[in-house]
Amino acid sequence: MQIPENYTLTILGAGVMGSAVLSAVLKNRPTPFPGKIFCCTGSSASAQRLQETYGNAITATYGESNFQPVKEADVIVLGCKPFMCQTIIDQVKGALDGNKVIISLLAGWKIDQLSTSVGSPYIARVMTNTPAKYGCGTAVVSFSSDLQGTDFQSVRETIMAIVDTVGMALELPEKNMDAATSLVGSGPAFVLLMMQALAEGGVRMGIPYETAKKCAAKVMEGTSKMVMESGQHPEALKSMVCTPGGTTIGGLLTLEDRGVRGAISRAVEEAADIASKLGKK
């Protein structure tokens, strides 16, 4: 099985995440680039809005017209809500020939479950996040066993090229997906809480909110860049900021006394635990 050079990409459920992937694909143009892109939605209003936004780069459909885009697809990005997925797949079942590559953005749906549902063994399960809308998303990808092995290397490369357009794509085994759902999917909310807390600290000490918010956001962005570009361990970078007897070590000890480190790590554990129960409901 190979993905043709001029493949057709169909986004089945082009809402928040589906559109984020679509925008990223159009902007960052993976190689190979799809010859045709369809966006399937559930309503004429959404299809019209997508058509107006993206013009002739895509063809947007809804309702029964979703059948043909699914039939023509070589690669399908599943971007519907998890609880609606089975109904939506049933609506286009006759168009699924068992030979399509499925890139699923669905939280909680396991590869085996997806494979049985769509009747294809070629599944990539992806967990990404909302910063994908700004080209700064993180995506973790797990491949079905049928996509592993050297024969499927070019298929995996095409999938990774598509997913990487959201920002950064990394491969992990499926056993890590619940943790990735927490760290990557819920991570932005955890970081936003930390950002808001930093900004409020600034406000408490007299900085106007808008300025404090911008400072907090830029501090987080800059610190991330420093970690990614230096390749150094965060603890090493942290200790470089701590002047003996200075302000930073004083603030850090307060954070440690209040258990902030453990609370953040346990938040990832808790969200991963909840994610593990999603697919079982």
Ligand X SMILES: NC(=O)c1ccc[n+]([C@@H]2O[C@H](COP(=O)([O-])OP(=O)(O)OC[C@H]3O[C@@H](n4cnc5c(N)ncnc54)[C@H](OP(=O)(O)O)[C@@H]3O)[C@@H](O)[C@H]2O)c1
Q: For residues 63 and 266, give the distance between their C-alpha atoms in angstroms, rounded to a whole number.
A: 43
Sign of the C-alpha dihedral, residues 70, 71, 73, 76? positive
* Closest CB 237 distance from ligand X, rounded Å: 29
* Closest CB 262 distance from ligand X, rounded Å: 26
* Closest CB 265 distance from ligand X, rounded Å: 21
H or E element at residue 266: helix 260-278
* Distances, alpha carbon 164 to alpha carbons 45, 131, 178, 213, in Å: 29, 13, 20, 29
The smaller minimum CB distance to ligand X, of residues 105 and 162, is found at 105
Residue sitting closest to ligand X (CB) = 15
Tell me if 166 is assigned to a ligand binding site.
no
The smaller minimum CB distance to ligand X, of residues 106 and 272, is found at 106
Tell me if 15 is assigned to a ligand binding site.
yes
The smaller minimum CB distance to ligand X, of residues 166 and 216, is found at 166
The smaller minimum CB distance to ligand X, of residues 32 and 188, is found at 188
Q: Which residue has the tokens 């909680």?
A: 108
Q: For residues 177 and 141, give the distance between their C-alpha atoms in angstroms, rounded to a whole number.
A: 8
User: In the 8-state DSSP scheme, what is residue 13?
Assistant: S
* Closest CB 165 distance from ligand X, rounded Å: 16
Pick the closest to residue 190 from 257, 266, 127 (CA basis). 266
Sheet with 36-41, edge to edge strand ranges: 59-62, 36-41, 8-12, 75-78, 101-104, 123-127, 137-143, 167-171
* Closest CB 185 distance from ligand X, rounded Å: 4
Q: Which residue ranges make up the site for ligand X (CB under 6 A)?
A: 12-18, 40-43, 46, 66, 79-82, 84, 88, 91, 105-107, 128-130, 185
The smaller minimum CB distance to ligand X, of residues 81 and 93, is found at 81
Q: DSSP letters of 134-168?
A: GT-EEEEEEE-GGG-SGGGHHHHHHHHHHHHTTEE
Q: For residues 14 and 17, give the distance between their C-alpha atoms in angstroms, rounded to a whole number.
A: 7
The smaller minimum CB distance to ligand X, of residues 15 and 32, is found at 15
Tell me if 66 is assigned to a ligand binding site.
yes
Pick the closest to residue 167 from 226, 196, 216, 127 (CA basis). 127
Tell me if 17 is assigned to a ligand binding site.
yes
* Closest CB 135 distance from ligand X, rounded Å: 16
- Antiparallel, parallel or unpaired: β 137-143 and 123-127: antiparallel
State the binding site: 12-17, 41, 66
State the binding site for NADPH: 66
State the binding site for NADP(+): 12-17, 41
